Amino acid sequence: MFGLFIFANPVSFALGNPLLGVLSNLDGTLGLAGWQWIFLATGIPAVILGAVTLVYLPEGPEKAKWLAPDQREWIKNELDREAGPRHDKHNPLAPLKSGRVWFFVAQFLLMVLAAYGLSFWMPTIVKGFGVTDTVTGLLTSIPYICAAVALFLLPRSADRHREYYWHMGLPPAIAGIAMGMSLLVDSPAIRLALMSVAAAGILGPQAIFWSLSSQMFTGIRAASAVATINSVGNLGGWLGPLAIGYIVDATHNTSSGLWVIVVAALLGGAVVVQTRRIVTRHAVPVTPTPESNRPHASSRRESVQ
Range of the domain at 116: 2-57+90-301
Q: Residue 301, SS3?
A: strand
Q: Residue 237, SS3?
A: helix
Indicate whether 121 belongs to any domain. Answer: yes
pLDDT in tens, 124-167: 889 888 888 888 888 999 999 999 999 889 888 988 888 888 88
User: Residues 6 or more apart from 118 whose CB is under 8 A from it?
Assistant: 143, 179, 195, 198, 199, 202, 261
State in Å, rounded, how far the first CA of the chain is from the last one: 28
Indicate whether 64 belongs to any domain. Answer: no
Please give the model's pTM, rounded to 2 decimal places. 0.75
d(CA 61, CA 75): 7
Number of domains, the chain: 1
Whether the CB-CB separation of 211 and 291 falls below 8 Å is answered with no
Indicate whether 160 belongs to any domain. Answer: yes
Indicate whether 41 belongs to any domain. Answer: yes
d(CA 290, CA 278): 29
DSSP result, 173-215: HHHHHHHHHHTT---HHHHHHHHHHHHHHHHTTHHHHHHHHHH
Indicate whether 99 belongs to any domain. Answer: yes
Q: What CATH number is given to the structural domain containing 20?
A: 1.20.1250.20
Indicate whether 84 belongs to any domain. Answer: no
pLDDT tens-digit profile, the chain (305 residues): 566 677 778 888 888 888 888 888 888 888 888 888 888 988 898 899 988 988 888 877 878 887 888 888 888 887 777 665 555 556 666 667 777 788 888 888 999 999 888 888 888 889 888 888 888 888 999 999 999 999 889 888 988 888 888 888 899 999 999 999 999 998 999 999 999 999 999 998 988 888 877 777 666 667 778 888 888 888 888 888 888 888 888 888 878 888 999 999 999 888 887 766 666 555 544 444 444 433 344 444 444 44
- Letter for the amino acid at 261? I
Indicate whether 101 belongs to any domain. Answer: yes
Indicate whether 70 belongs to any domain. Answer: no
